[in-house]
Amino acid sequence: MTDSDKATPDVAAPPGPRPRLVWVTVAVALGVVVIDQVTKALAVAYLRPRILAGEVPVEILGPVLKLTYTENTGAAFGMGTGFTWIFAAIAVVVSIVILRTATRIGSVAWAIALGGLLGGAVGNLIDRLTRPPGIGQGYVVDFLQLPNWPVFNVADMSIVGSAILMVVLTIRGVELNGAKRTSSVR
């Protein structure tokens, strides 16, 4: 009998941090940032001139989804106009916390959720750092319009989608480390 014959059968590792999931988080974030920045560049190049010329938004799905152009100097729903530097600082802090937390992830779903949140935060942070009037005070380009809803962008969609996924994971009892929380209430 050889040593390989004495080997124990494969046993599933208990839930816990999996280093490769950091890369899933980063890959999702990078994907969101690229899509967000490309779509914002297209909005600036093609939608901004139309809207500034007084043309109506482009209807994609009739009145349900339109493409328009706005420069948001505030937070969600246009709140906090004039406090752009605070939103930039918050995005930096959130990004650092997510990157630190990513080292403890043991769930692919949590890696995707945190990656989407990170990508959305960084996508809008890039705007705040690079657009006029200056570093940390720039506006965020928004271009997607739904009825009775503020105009938004891909980064915003990613942030909201990630938040929804995090709520679902929490309700289902999936912990950050991948373990399934069991109910202790009887």
Residues taking part in catalysis: 142, 156
- Is the separation of the CB atoms in 128 and 92 below 8 Å? no
Question: Torsion-angle region of residue 51: left (phi > 0), alpha (psi -120 to 50) or beta?
Answer: alpha
Can you tell me whether residue 145 is helix, strand or coil? Answer: strand
By CB neighbour count within 10 A (0-12 exposed, 13-18 middle, 19+ buried), where does 94 fall? middle
Q: Cα 163 from chain centroid?
A: 9
- Is the separation of the CB atoms in 66 and 58 below 8 Å? yes
Cβ count within 10 A of residue 9? 4
- The strand ranges marked E within the chain are 58-59, 66-72, 140-145
Cβ count within 10 A of residue 17? 14
